Structure formats: structure tokens, C-alpha cells
Chains A and B, each alone.
Chain A
Amino acid sequence: MSSARFAGTERYVATEDLMMAVNAGITLGRPVLVKGEPGTGKTQLAEEVARSLERPLFEWHIKSTTKAQQGLYEYDAVARLRDSQLGDDRVKDIGNYIRKGRVWEAFTSEVQPVLLIDEIDKADIEFPNDLLRELDQMEFTVYETGETVRARHRPIIIITSNNEKELPDAFLRRCFFHYIRFPDAETMQSIVEVHYPGLKQELLREALNAFYQVREVPGLKKKPSTSELLDWLKLLLAEDIPPEALRASDKRAIPPLHGALLKNEQDVHLFEQLAFMHRRNAR
């Protein structure tokens, strides 16, 4: 058990329920599962927790090909076979061919670390189940050497998911769960304030208006998210676009520098169609 508490940082706006889930996870030493739309700062959460509690961060990014075992360790049998054919001396010690995974590294950390398991839903359906024991008992055995690795400090585990697959019940039961909702206009304003302090109020208001309008458009393949808004604002600032230009944009329905918000040609096309219909109706 740990007494550290997370309360957001100057770079990251945490809502009350998010803090509650994270603190519950820290206190009871259980994983926190964070879901939400892409671009709402799930991955960043782990970085900020590590930073604010001054703990080392171990990131394990999951791909569709990742196996649970790879987080613990990998035994490079192929390298050993090659070495044996070439008569290398290293071949006699099997330990030379065991490569530590991120979980192992986190287990051996001197102080309590933060372990991020990013996008767990990308992996195979069985992946979370394969990690159950390791996350529960915080130990595992290396079969090749018979060594048992035990966590020196129970890591703070943060797991993110994009909801591409449903996760198994047995796994969910062991986690605290938080769903990052898309921020409302008020929270969004404070998020922007954190990233671009002193942004002209008028520009911000118009930009947020335009942004939420874009999100409201039905049938978008990918709705722009917080991270895209922040990029867009950066561009607007760099190009020194006046707030008036944004206001005019809802007449023409396509905002300036929309490339930062709309990420595929179908969406841009949809927008152009809407803009066209808008002009026609206005006439």
C-alpha cells in the first residue's frame, strides 16, 4: 500500500472521477484501466502520474502481434542455435539469451515504478488473461532458468484501451475502471489554458465553437479529438489567424487549416459537400 496521491499536474487536467480511480488504484495496488476516445490523453495519464509522483515510468506498447510472455521475458532460441553452430562460448549459459521484458524491468525497479500497458485491446483476446497471475501476485517464473522474479515494489499499473475488443471479465474484475469522457467546453477551456497559457480569449472561444461544430457533424469517419484541437490551435497561432476568420467559417462550414482536424479525405469531402449545400441554401 502506498500513500502517494495523484491530483493532476500543471500540464494535465484531471477530472475528479479520474483522480479517484487513479488514487484507488495506487492505494490498493491494483491496475487502473482507462478507456476513452482516441486523443483524450489516456497514454499521457501514465506519464503525468509518473512525473507528479516522481516515479520511473516503464512503457509497454501493445501491438496486434504482442504476446503476454514478451512483457515478462523472451528466450532467443534462434540466436542460441546460431551461436552454437558458430561455436560461440556464450552458448553455455542460457541466461545470455533471456531478454527482459518491460514487466520484468518494472519489477526490479529500485523505487515503486509506474508501468503503462498501452492499448491492451490491440493484442489477442487471450492476452489480458495471460497476465492475470503476474499482475495479481506480482511474480513470475523464468522456465528456462527456474528463476522466480518477484516485484520489489508493487508497480502502479495503468492500462489503456481503445475499446476495439471487449476485455475478459476475469481481467476486468481486478481493475479499477475509468472512462475518459470527451471533455465539455468548460474543461476543454482549462485544458487549452494549460497548454497555451495566455491564448487570446476571443480566438479560443471562436476556435472551440468551430471545433465543437465540426464534432457535431454526422457521419464523420474520425471525429477530431483533444490532441487534434491542440495541434490546430498551435497552427492557428503560428499562422496568426484572426478570430474573425473562424467566425466567418461557420458560414462556409469549413474552418481554416482544417487539415489538423480532419484526418481523411472522405471527411474533408463530406465537409466540402456540406459547405456547398450550405451556400446553396443561403442563397
Chain B
Amino acid sequence: MLAEFFFLLRKAGLRVSITEYLTLLEALRARVASVSVDEFYFLARATLIKDEALFDRFDQVFAAHFKGIEQLFQAFSAEVPQDWLQRQAELLLSEEERQKIESMGGFEALMEALQQRLREQDDQHHGGNKWIGTGGTSPFGHSGFNPEGVRIGGKGGNRRAVKVWEKREYRNLDDSVQIGTRNIKLALRRLRRFAREGAADQLDLPGTIESTARNAGLLDIRMQPERHNAVKVLLFLDVGGSMDDHVRVCEEMFSAARAEFKHLEYYYFHNFIYESVWKDNRRRHAQRIPLTEVMRKYGPDYRLILVGDATMSPYEISYPGGSVEHWNDEPGQVWLNRLLRAYPHAVWLNPEPEQRWGYTPSIQMTRELMDERMYPLTLRGLDESIQGLRRPVAVTALAGAPEPAP
């Protein structure tokens, strides 16, 4: 039972090692956890998972695997209370949908279908997929009725029985870090800029010899600060829409960058840069951060990296009100120019294959705005982009054709 759980965890992309598995067995043998399933859950989590960002994924696998077995612990009843579902559904469904429900054979049948769907989701999820809302054609889907919400809430109605792993409190933390980012890390390493800053704690040998000689041979120690990677990076990531095809490579890039740079700040945007960006995709409409704020907060010593496919309608770049999501008073190119003026060391990484760039006008426009500093999001492109970051961008794009800086 535990070995199976171990392999399920690995299948879900959690890199649990044999040492950790053995530690868990050892701890169980030493009776660290008693018979309660809660205690076992806490112990397993503390032993096997070493990153709070992965807690959510662990919770999901745990829930999926121990679902049938939990009766052994005799802790909870597994059914979702019917009346609760009904209440919740009435809250969420519109008049139109309610009529549709009638046409599907009434509420009871629908609830059965829903429970069926919940079970299916669980099974699929076994394979390590994320739970996503049911498709657009589903009777539950478009109103944002989240099956997982039902499950959680269902348990919530019966307060004592809430299972920690089913609450999935760590949902927001999972940044789905992919493994195999080492190559990217190595490429990013080229961006390192060493500087001697901070406390003097290393022997400056030439300095010591010189000053000892001046001191008539009596030892005079000279110290100097250690070299540190002093580069600072500001990362802007395009999310949603056409970027969905490139999620994996962007995640790799992001997690590699996070590991590599001490000073890394990241923001998200959609399609193009406008007056505001955001930090948390779940709350993108509620928590927008003005771009001016970003430019005020981080000094010009930051290197700017924009990641996006720049594939959109040209209006989204050049016209006020062109944004697909909101009304923008000023065109996107004005904002990009402001950003480039604040951070002259900038590149744009594009996950679209380079051959296709010529056929997309918006990519051409963005490239011009970026003073040709657009690179494909491949290892080679990363290498080149790091060369590109060394020279400042010439921001004259709006006035006329730019001359590259010498």
C-alpha cells in the first residue's frame, strides 16, 4: 500500500527519493505517528515533500490514493450531502440553466450526473493531471461551477470531517516547476555579473604583500569583500490566450530563473504591456499593479526580460483601446517604450519558432520596438539574448527607424 503510494507520488512528478521513503517507514516503525490518518498525513508530508509549493500536488495524490483505504481509519463518511449540493447549485445556476436541468430529467438526475463526474475527475486526476472545470458544453461548466468546490464545501457542511488534504490550502503555491531546467540555468549563468560588495572577509593577497613590505616586514593584513553575483532581473511573462501552447517552456524558464538570480522580480501581462501588470494570476483583475509603480520601485540597474509570443492584432500594440481585455487610454507601444527607457538593458524572448516571425505583423512591430532584441525561447536564443542584454536598447522607435546602439 505504501510502495504504491510512493510510485504514485513519483508519477505525479514529485521527486520523492528512496531515502525519504525509507525514512517514512522508519518513522512509522518508531511509532512517531499513531493510527490516526491525520497524523499519518502530517508525517508523510514532512518526510516526503520539501517544498511548500508542492504541498497541493501531494494533497491531491494523497486524497486519490487513500480514498478507498480511509475506512480503515474509520474517520469520515465519504458521501457529499445531497441537500448541500442542491443548495449550492441553486445558488450558482441561472434561470436558463435551471430550465435546461428540467429538460435533462430534473434535479435528481443532474446531481447523479454531477457525482458521476466528480468520480471521473478523481480518476483522471490519478494520472497527475490537474483538475479543471468541466468543458464548455457541460451543464455545470460555464457558470464557473467548480466540481472541486463542491467536494470541499460538501465536507465543510460537516465540519469535523474536513480533511486537511482535501481543503487543498496550498493551491496557489504550485508553480508547476518542471524538472530538467539545468540547461536553462547554465545559460542564465552567463548573465552573472560579479561585483565585490559587502563585508571585507577575504584575504587580498597582493594588497597584503604590498602593505607588509611597506610596513617593514611586519605583517599587515588587507581584506576585501567576496565576489557576488550582483545582477538584478525584472521578468515580465505573458499568460493566457495564445501563450497556452508554450506553458511548459515558460515554466522551465521561470523556475530556472528563480533558482539562478537572487534579485528576481516577476510580473504577468496579457498579450502586450499596458498601464498595469499583476503578480498573481488568480487575482489578476483584483490586484493590478501600475507599471509606473514597478518602474519607481526597481532601479535602472535591473535587466528587463519580457517573455511572450507577441502574436496578436497590431491594433493591440499601436492604438488606444486596442487591448482585448480592457480599455487602455494609451497604446501599448507607448508603455513598452516607457519601460525600455526605464530599463535600457532589455530583451524579448519569444517561444514562437523563429521562422514564423516574419509572417506575423505584431511580432515585427514588437521587434522594432525592442530594437531587434527579440530572441527565440530556446537555449541558443537564451545565449544570444544574454549578449543582447549587455548593450542598452536605443529607444527611438516611435520617432522613426532606430539605429542600434554601438
Where the two chains meet, the residues of A that have a C-beta atom closer than 8 Å to any C-beta of B are 1, 16-17, 20-21, 23-24, 27-28, 30, 32-33, 35, 64-65, 78, 81-82, 85, 164-167, 169, 172-179, 181, 218-219, 266
The listed residue (A16, A27, A177) touching B49 by CB distance below 8 A is A177
Q: What does DSSP make chain A's interface, helix, strand, loop or mixed?
A: mixed
- B46 touching A176, Cβ below 8 Å: yes
Residues of A within 8 A of B52 (CB): 35, 179
Residues of A within 8 A of B226 (CB): 65
Decide: A30 near B46, CB < 8 A? Known: A20-B33, A85-B218: no
- A218 touching B219, Cβ below 8 Å: no
- B286 touching A218, Cβ below 8 Å: yes
Q: How far is the CA of A181 from the CA of B170 in the complex (A)?
A: 9
Residues of B within 8 A of A20 (CB): 32-33, 39, 42-43, 46
Interface size on B, residues (CB 8 A): 42
Residue B50 is within 8 A (CB to CB) of chain A in the complex: yes
Residues of B within 8 A of A176 (CB): 46-47
Minimum CB–CB distance for A198 against chain B, Å: 28
Q: Which of B19-27, B117-125, B363-371 contacts A (4 or more CB under 8 A)?
A: B19-27
Decide: A1 near B23, CB < 8 A? Known: A24-B46, A24-B47: no
In the complex, given contacts A20-B32, A65-B198, what are 15 additional A-B residue pairs having Cβ atoms less than 8 angstroms apart?
Answer: A17-B42, A17-B46, A20-B39, A24-B33, A32-B46, A33-B50, A35-B52, A65-B199, A65-B201, A85-B218, A169-B15, A173-B17, A177-B46, A177-B50, A219-B279
Residues of B within 8 A of A32 (CB): 46
Minimum CB–CB distance for B135 against chain A, Å: 32
Where the two chains meet, the residues of B that have a C-beta atom closer than 8 Å to any C-beta of A are 15, 17, 19-20, 23, 26-27, 30, 32-33, 38-39, 42-43, 45-47, 49-52, 55, 164, 169, 198-199, 201, 218-219, 221, 226, 258-259, 262, 279, 283, 286-289, 293, 297
Minimum CB–CB distance for B20 against chain A, Å: 6
Minimum CB–CB distance for A101 against chain B, Å: 16
The listed residue (B45, B164, B219, B287) touching A85 by CB distance below 8 A is B219
Residues of A within 8 A of B46 (CB): 17, 20-21, 24, 32, 176-178
Residues of A within 8 A of B42 (CB): 16-17, 20-21
A-B contact pairs, 27 of them (CB 8 A): A16-B38, A17-B42, A17-B45, A20-B32, A20-B39, A20-B46, A23-B32, A24-B46, A24-B47, A28-B26, A28-B27, A28-B30, A30-B23, A35-B52, A78-B221, A164-B262, A167-B50, A169-B17, A172-B50, A172-B51, A173-B17, A175-B50, A177-B47, A177-B50, A218-B288, A219-B279, A266-B297
Chain A, residue nearest B280 (CB): A218
Minimum CB–CB distance for A6 against chain B, Å: 12
The listed residue (A16, A27, A33, A81) touching B27 by CB distance below 8 A is A27
Residues of B within 8 A of A166 (CB): 258-259
Residues of A within 8 A of B283 (CB): 218
Q: How far is the CA of A104 from the CA of B30 in the complex (A)?
A: 28
Minimum CB–CB distance for B35 against chain A, Å: 14
Which of B43, B199, B289 has the most CB atoms of chain A within a 10 A radius of its CB? Answer: B43
Residues of A within 8 A of B49 (CB): 177
Q: How far is the CA of A30 from the CA of B191 in the complex (A)?
A: 38
Residues of B within 8 A of A167 (CB): 50
Q: How far is the CA of A216 from the CA of B32 in the complex (A)?
A: 37
- A28 touching B221, Cβ below 8 Å: no
Q: How far is the CA of A266 from the CA of B294 in the complex (A)?
A: 12
Q: Which 3 A-B pairs have the closest CB atoms?
A: A218-B287, A179-B52, A20-B42
Minimum CB–CB distance for B250 against chain A, Å: 19
Minimum CB–CB distance for B69 against chain A, Å: 20
- A28 touching B32, Cβ below 8 Å: yes
Minimum CB–CB distance for B43 against chain A, Å: 5
Residues of B within 8 A of A35 (CB): 52
Which of A23, A27, A165 has the most CB atoms of chain B within a 10 A radius of its CB? Answer: A23
Chain B, residue nearest A172 (CB): B50
Q: How far is the CA of A23 from the CA of B42 in the complex (A)?
A: 11
- A28 touching B55, Cβ below 8 Å: no
Q: How far is the CA of A24 from the CA of B201 in the complex (A)?
A: 38
Q: How far is the CA of A52 from the CA of B30 in the complex (A)?
A: 22
- B50 touching A24, Cβ below 8 Å: no
Minimum CB–CB distance for A117 against chain B, Å: 16
Chain B, residue nearest A270 (CB): B293
Which of B51, B283, B288 has the most CB atoms of chain A within a 10 A radius of its CB? Answer: B51
Residues of B within 8 A of A85 (CB): 218-219
Q: How far is the CA of A16 from the CA of B46 in the complex (A)?
A: 12
- B289 touching A219, Cβ below 8 Å: yes
- A179 touching B55, Cβ below 8 Å: yes
Q: How far is the CA of A219 from the CA of B294 in the complex (A)?
A: 10
Minimum CB–CB distance for B292 against chain A, Å: 12
- A218 touching B198, Cβ below 8 Å: no
Residues of B within 8 A of A17 (CB): 42, 45-46, 164
Q: How far is the CA of A164 from the CA of B264 in the complex (A)?
A: 11
Minimum CB–CB distance for A235 against chain B, Å: 28
Residues of B within 8 A of A165 (CB): 262
Q: How far is the CA of A95 from the CA of B353 in the complex (A)?
A: 64
Residues of A within 8 A of B293 (CB): 219
Residues of B within 8 A of A33 (CB): 50
Minimum CB–CB distance for A107 against chain B, Å: 23
Q: How far is the CA of A21 from the CA of B164 in the complex (A)?
A: 16
Q: How far is the CA of A274 from the CA of B351 in the complex (A)?
A: 38
Chain B, residue nearest A32 (CB): B46
Minimum CB–CB distance for A68 against chain B, Å: 15
